[in-house]
Structure formats: structure tokens, C-alpha cells
Amino acid sequence: MGKNEAGLDYGAAMRFYGDTLKKLIDLSRQIDMQVNMITSLSSVLLAFSVTQIIQQHEPITFAVLSVCMVCAVISALFAAHPPRFMRRAGQHQSAMYSKSIARYPSAVEYEAQLRSFLSDADAMVGEYAREIYNLSKYYYIPKRKLYLISRNFFVSGIALATITFITTLLF
């Protein structure tokens, strides 16, 4: 690719952006796996606690557990696909965003846009940086926040149910 007037090596910049994008995608996949685990564990504990409530075994303890597990499952489901208000805050979409691609009337016109980026290295670096920024700020960070909320509900539910169970045994 070469260098610009300031001495920026575009090839090195594109490798850097590519590595950054790959890392971001890997982090998002890791969050998705963690969300799946929390959803599964919370669902199992929810089913178990509802069964125990129906059978009248420590209803207060299992009611506390059920409420926390419901909250954990709901927030985990939102973490799997964050709500629109968390994903879209008026950011400028890059040319690589699927809805931006769909706005072109034909593949030929989109190809022409991509070729113009190839001829203008600064524009290409800008589009790549915009895509990485948007994925990080408006996709990964909301997923991570919602996962942490879900995990906190899960852990809190187990802790509160344990405390409630111990309290009912003592009194």
C-alpha cells in the first residue's frame, strides 16, 4: 500500500486494524458463550426452585432464588441481543455495516464505493477505524454490561437463597 506524506505505513495500519477487529470479534464470542452458560444455569435453577415451591419445600428460599434467576435469564437474553437503544446512539455507520451495504441499489455501485476506498488509503483507514469503534462501543460494550448484570443476578440469587436458607434453619 505504501506510505502517506506523514510517513504512515498503510499496510501496517491495516494489519493492526485487522488484528484489532479479530480480537473484538473473539471477545464478543467469549461473551456469547458466557451468556449461554448463565442462561442455561439460571434456567435450570429456576425450574428447580419452581418445582420446590410447588412441593412446599422452603418456599421463601426458593422464591428468592426464583426471582433472581428470572432476572438473570432476562438480562442474559438481552445480553445475547442488546436492545436497540443500547446499540444505536446516532453513530455514523461505516460502509462495511450491513444496512449501509443494503442502501446501494446494486452490487456494482457498492463495488465502486469499495474501489474508491482502495484508491484513497486515508478513507479506507477511516472506514476501518469507524467500524472497529462502532463494534466496540455499540455492540461489545452493551453485551458485556448486560452479561455482568446477568452474572450479578445469578451470584446474588445463590447468595441470598443460601442466606435465607441458613436463616430459616436458625430461627
Does residue 163 lie within any of the structural domains? yes
Question: Does 149 reside within a domain?
Answer: yes
- pLDDT by residue (tens digit) across 50-60? 999 999 888 89
Whether residue 110 lies inside any domain: the answer is: yes
Number of folded domains in the chain? 1
Residue 11 above 70 pLDDT? yes
What is the reported pLDDT for 98? 60
Percent of all residues in the chain with a pLDDT value above 90, rounded to a whole number: 46
Q: What pLDDT is attached to residue 78?
A: 95
Question: Tens digit of pLDDT for each residue in 62-97?
Answer: 999 999 999 999 999 999 988 887 766 666 666 666
* 141 falls within a domain: yes
- The whole-number average pLDDT for the span 17-21 is 85
Q: How many CB atoms lie within 10 A of CB 97?
A: 17
Tell me which amino acid residue 47 is.
A
Is residue 164 a part of any domain in this protein?
yes
Cα Rg for the chain, rounded, in angstroms?
24
Decide if 95 is inside a domain. yes
Handedness of CA 88, 93, 98, 100 (dihedral sign): positive
Structure confidence at residue 38 (pLDDT): 97
User: What are 42's three cell numbers?
Assistant: 439460571
Task: Examine residue 4 and state whether it is found in any structural domain, yes or no.
Answer: no
In a domain, 1, yes or no: no
Segment 125-169, tens digit of pLDDT: 787 888 888 888 888 999 999 999 999 999 999 999 999 999 988
Q: 154 lies in which domain range? A: 10-170
pLDDT at 51: 93
What phi and psi values does residue 90 have, to the nearest 5 degrees?
80, 20
**What pLDDT was estimated at residue 103?**
77
